[in-house]
Chains A and B, each alone.
Chain A
Amino acid sequence: EIVMTQSPATVSVSPGERVTLSCRASQSVSTNLAWYQQRPGQTPRLLIYGASIGATGVPARFRGSGSGTEFTLTISSLQPEDFAVYYCQQYNGWPPALTFGGGTKVEI
């Protein structure tokens, strides 16, 4: 099983600042990686897939990068609604095996 490790577990930032979240895979997943946002009391929302492709309706301030085992999600100029938990998720093609990272909480 591919293990996804996110860091840091929690990051404290101020509105308007930039933050970079990390996700590491225990073995290469190529660019088969997604990022999700989960606000308190809400369901997860797909932000990025294919490591760097923005999902429909996602603001340009969310940018994903990386390949292989190292990935980052950068949020430039944090907005109040961006304070949430962010999860990475890998998809290992066939047979399908999907695993999520433990999440990073972005707090004020």
Chain B
Amino acid sequence: QVQLVESGGGLVRPGGSLRLSCAASGFTFSDYYMGWIRQAPGKGLEWVAYISTAGGTEHYGDSVKGRFIITRDNAENSLYLQMNSLRADDTAVYYCARDLTAVVAAGYFDNWGQGTLVTVSS
């Protein structure tokens, strides 16, 4: 059974940094592209970042480009999101999600974690 468990959320001041983690189990983690998607309170979904199976290629949404970094550790079955220069509008629940198909990026997410809340406020 696929399981994705996020951690690392919390309250941070504007301009601060935070690192999110996602522990994956129940599938061959290294075979799948992975992504981060966020949802501001009461709002819709926004794609944040996407990483290839080996971690050699990352892509970012325009609103986080240059501030956030997605990485992965296939030996530890873990996905990460380093968030720098945080702003109030980064406040959201951050979901870790698995791509639909193994090896080749499908661009859709069929398994999601429960999310971790990041609040940026002074």
For the side of the interface on A, what is the size category? Answer: 20 to 34
With A87-B44, A87-B45, A100-B47 as given contacts, are A46 and B107 in contact (CB-CB < 8 Å)? no
Asked if A91 contacts B44 (CB within 8 A), the reply is no
- Looking at the complex, which one of B62, B108, B115 makes contact with A34 (CB distance below 8 Å)? B108
Asked if A43 contacts B100 (CB within 8 A), the reply is no
CA distance A99 to B37 in the complex (A): 10
Asked if A89 contacts B59 (CB within 8 A), the reply is no
Asked if A89 contacts B112 (CB within 8 A), the reply is no
CA distance A85 to B46 in the complex (A): 14
B14 within 8 A of A: no
Give every chain B residue within 8 A of A1 (Cβ-Cβ).
62
What's the nearest-Cβ distance from chain A to residue B34, in Å? 12
Chain A positions near chain B (C-beta within 8 angstroms): 1, 32, 34, 36, 38, 43-46, 49, 55-56, 85, 87, 89, 91, 93, 95-103
Q: A45-B112, A91-B108 are in contact. List 5 more A-B contacts (CB 8 A).
A: A1-B62, A49-B100, A55-B100, A98-B47, A100-B44
Chain B positions near chain A (C-beta within 8 angstroms): 35, 37, 44-47, 50, 59, 61-62, 95, 100, 105-110, 112-115
Question: Which 8 A/B pairs are nearest by Cβ-Cβ distance?
Answer: A91-B107, A98-B47, A43-B112, A100-B45, A34-B108, A49-B108, A96-B59, A46-B110
A-B contact list, 26 entries, CB within 8 Å: A32-B107, A34-B108, A38-B45, A43-B95, A43-B113, A43-B114, A43-B115, A44-B112, A46-B110, A49-B106, A49-B108, A55-B100, A56-B110, A87-B45, A91-B107, A93-B107, A96-B50, A96-B59, A98-B47, A98-B61, A100-B44, A100-B46, A100-B47, A102-B44, A103-B44, A103-B45
